């Protein structure tokens, strides 16, 4: 489906819970969450995805909160993957609960997993994440690779992260995975914490890998710009939405766990899907999806804080 600016919208991020077992200081430091009876059911999510497929949205990322906190999340992922017309289902997770599920996810053909990892050293990880869970995350990463899942690491460019960038990037030297660095977006607690931007991060990485060079590759759902070096098995990705806005290529829409369709991360506007879900009509669902796509603005305004109208945090939206 095309939006009013001619962009092709083929990707939906689906938040399946706003609960999280971490308290990352830039994301969900106090961990508020809605009551379970306000959360979309599996059936409602599946119906939304079927309607989305019929409008040309065929790629889905399951997110949260921490999606694996949702009871039965692996089964929901399996059912999403089995919907005719769905091209790709991937998961983004903090990795703490991944290890025991990795084989099952690989067995039904999950198309990939992104693991969030902001520090490779245990005490620093615990300070940022608010929980001493680094060993569980690394076990999740190893299990994902052993199961043959396509795996990426996501690391936020937090203030003070300069000293750990090379150790984080080294995961791509030692394993066949992409390591992606995400500029802090001024959403939720991220408003208080601008960290280094892409160019600063690249300059630091080039002190270790001077040959790191841009490659024109799309390796998933879109937004990362990738860099390669002969000494790295995987790629380095930069998700540089703040310093190098890439809205002209935006291909996405977001579904919150309470049934709101968000046209853009930056603004509070949303289309409420619950009326359409309660009516039971796929046509109503399609119409609501089309309204949300039609409402997509040309661009975010992260550089102009006053224009940002989204007041919720990333864990409520799905990142
Ligand atoms: N719990 C899951 C995870 O860790 O991937 C999914 C939800 S989490 C909100 C999704 C991603 O958003 C994580 O990689 C997290 O680091 C990132 N994130 C949260 N707040 C952010 C911010 N203000 N700017 C950039 N990325 C942010």
Ligand 1 atom showing the smallest separation from residue 95 Cα: 4
| Res 193 pLDDT > 90 | no
Q: Choose one of 16, 26, 27, 313 to mutate for the ligand 1 pocket test, by most ligand atoms within 8 angstroms of C-beta.
A: 27
Hey, what are 193's tokens?
């914490």
Q: What is the pLDDT of residues 210-265, one digit of tens each?
A: 999 999 898 887 789 999 999 999 999 999 998 988 899 999 999 999 999 999 99
**Could you give the CA distance from residue 182 to residue 244 in angstroms, rounded to a whole number?**
12
pLDDT above 90 (res 37) = no
pTM for the model stands at 0.96
Which ligand 1 atom lies nearest to the CA of residue 188? 23
* SS3 of residue 189 by DSSP: helix
Q: What does R_g of the chain's alpha carbons equal in angstroms?
A: 19
Q: How far is CA 155 from CA 184, 280, 310, in A?
A: 10, 40, 23
Which protein residue's CA is at the shortest distance from atom 2 of ligand 1?
A: 93
Ligand 1 center–CA 242 separation, angstroms = 15
* Per-residue pLDDT at 189: 80
Across the range 264-269, mean pLDDT stands at: 94
Please tell me the residue having the least CA distance from ligand 1 atom 25. 184
Our answer on whether the CB atom of 63 is closer than 6 Å to any ligand 1 atom is yes
Kindly indicate the confidence band of residue 77, based on its pLDDT and cuts at 50, 70 and 90.
Answer: very high
Distance (Å) from CA 37 to ligand 1 centroid: 24
Return the number of other C-beta atoms located less than 10 Å from residue 106's C-beta.
17
CA-closest residue to ligand 1 atom 5 = 93
Residues, the chain: 319
Positive or negative, the CA dihedral 262, 252, 190, 193 is: negative
Q: What was the pLDDT predicted at 280?
A: 84
E-strand stretches of the chain: 11-15, 59-63, 88-93, 112-116, 151-157, 178-183, 213-215, 225-228, 236-239, 252-255, 260-262, 271-272
Burial class (CB in 10 A: 0-12, 13-18, 19+), 282: middle
- Using a 6 Å cutoff on CB, does residue 20 contact ligand 1? yes
185 lines ligand 1 (CB under 6 A): yes
């Amino acid at each position: 489906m095309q939006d009013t600016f001619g962009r092709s919208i083929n990707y939906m991020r689906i938040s399946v819970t706003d609960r999280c077992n971490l308290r990352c200081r830039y994301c969900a430091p106090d961990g508020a969450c809605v009551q379970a009876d306000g959360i979309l059911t599996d059936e409602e999510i599946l119906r939304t995805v079927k309607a989305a497929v019929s409008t040309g949205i065929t790629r889905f990322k399951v997110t949260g909160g921490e999606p694996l906190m949702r009871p039965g999340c692996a089964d929901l992922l399996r059912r999403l993957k089995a919907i005719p017309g769905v091209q790709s289902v991937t998961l983004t997770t903090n990795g703490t609960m991944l290890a025991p599920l990795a084989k099952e996810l690989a067995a039904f053909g999950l198309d990939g997993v992104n693991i969030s990892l902001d520090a490779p050293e245990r005490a620093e990880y615990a300070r940022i994440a608010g929980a001493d869970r680094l060993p569980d995350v690394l076990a999740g990463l190893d299990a994902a690779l052993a199961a043959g899942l396509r795996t990426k690491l996501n690391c936020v460019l937090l203030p003070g992260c300069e000293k750990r960038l090379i150790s984080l990037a080294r995961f791509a030297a030692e394993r066949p995975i992409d390591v992606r660095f995400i500029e802090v977006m001024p959403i939720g607690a991220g408003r208080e914490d601008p960290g280094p931007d892409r160019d600063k991060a690249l300059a630091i990485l080039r002190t270790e890998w001077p040959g790191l060079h841009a490659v024109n590759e799309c390796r998933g759902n879109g937004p990362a710009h990738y860099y390669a070096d002969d000494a790295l098995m995987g790629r380095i990705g930069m998700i540089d939405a703040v310093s190098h806005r890439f809205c002209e290529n935006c291909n996405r829409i977001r579904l919150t766990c309470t049934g709101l369709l968000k046209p853009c991360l930056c603004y509070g506007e949303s289309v409420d899907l619950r009326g359409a879900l309660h009516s039971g009509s796929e046509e109503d669902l399609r119409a609501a999806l089309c309204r949300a796509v039609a409402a997509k603005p040309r661009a975010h305004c992260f550089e102009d804080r006053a224009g940002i109208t989204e007041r919720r945090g990333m864990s409520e939206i799905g990142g």
